Amino acid sequence: MRRWGYTAQRPKKLAYEQQPVKVQHWLDHEYPAIVKQATSEKAEIHWCDEVGIKPECQALQSYSLKGKTPVVTNRSKRFSINMVSTVSNNGKLRFMLYEETLKTDVFIEFLRRLVKYSKKKIFLILDNLRVHHSKKVQKWVKKHKKKISLFFLPPYAPQYNPDEYLNNDLKRNVNRKHIPLTKSELQSNLRSYLKTLQNKPHHIQKFFEAEDVRYAA
């Protein structure tokens, strides 16, 4: 296989329901139009997504004698912390942690915080989660249209959202130094790592270097 130019690779996951024509239209027409509109309104483009973080580390490694597998002790009781966040291609990161499911009021609270601490109008790009399209959210956005506008990615196309790369980064690194045994420890790990990233805009900008989201850089 190597002689034929093949290498071992992890397959990229692609939703069966994804519609290539709509994705291409987004890349060729919809997103360039958003950029043009953002420029004319002096707005800042942010990419939004939600994720649940668990008390585990996907990148965990250790060393041991041959035939003696290392053991990591963890609690059998499951718990997690949810997060909604945004990233921008100039390296900004905004986030809010919550424990309940993402209901309309929770999402609106995040939007409220987002516009409160922004000096520019926000053009927020997100997926098609039902909460994002709810009438209550649309009513709130209409009321604050001078501060924020919502735009939606093509259906089932998460790989075109740069904020997905933040989620992947968190899952790999947030618990690397310390596997939490309680929800408060997990929340402490998460806040600490996120605040570190907020002080490293160059790290956030690297998410936009991935092939599928390079168009947004």
Task: Supply the CATH number for residue 100's domain.
Answer: 3.30.420.10
User: Is residue 85 one of the residues assigned to a domain?
Assistant: yes
Q: What is the SS3 assignment for 188?
A: helix
Q: Which of 16-25, 68-77, 156-165 has the highest mean pLDDT?
A: 156-165
User: Is residue 149 one of the residues assigned to a domain?
Assistant: yes
Confidence of residue 16 (pLDDT cuts 50, 70, 90): very low
Residue 33's pLDDT is 98
- What share of the chain in percent tops pLDDT 70? 87
Question: Could you give phi then psi for residue 124, rounded to 5 degrees?
Answer: -100, 120
Residues in the chain: 217
Which residues in 78-114 are b (16+ Cβ under 10 Å) and which e?
eeebbbbbbbbbebebbbbebeeebeeebbbebbeeb
User: Is residue 189 one of the residues assigned to a domain?
Assistant: yes
User: Is residue 65 one of the residues assigned to a domain?
Assistant: no
Residue type, 12: K
User: Is residue 86 one of the residues assigned to a domain?
Assistant: yes
Per-residue pLDDT for 145 more than 80? Answer: yes
Write out the residue range of the structural domain in which residue 190 sits. Answer: 20-57+78-216
User: Is residue 2 one of the residues assigned to a domain?
Assistant: no
N- to C-terminal Cα separation, the chain: 36
By CB neighbour count within 10 A (0-12 exposed, 13-18 middle, 19+ buried), where does 65 fall? exposed
User: Is residue 66 one of the residues assigned to a domain?
Assistant: no
Per-residue pLDDT for 60 more than 60? Answer: no
Question: Could you give phi then psi for residue 48, rounded to 5 degrees?
Answer: -120, 145
User: Is residue 91 one of the residues assigned to a domain?
Assistant: yes
The number of domains in the chain is: 1
Q: Are strands 44-53 and 81-87 parallel, antiparallel or unpaired?
A: antiparallel
Q: pTM value? A: 0.85
The predicted-structure confidence for 17-53, as pLDDT tens digits, reads as follows 668 999 999 999 999 999 999 999 999 999 999 999 9
Cβ 147 vs Cβ 124: under 8 Å: no
Per-residue pLDDT for 213 more than 70? Answer: yes
Residue 4's pLDDT is 75
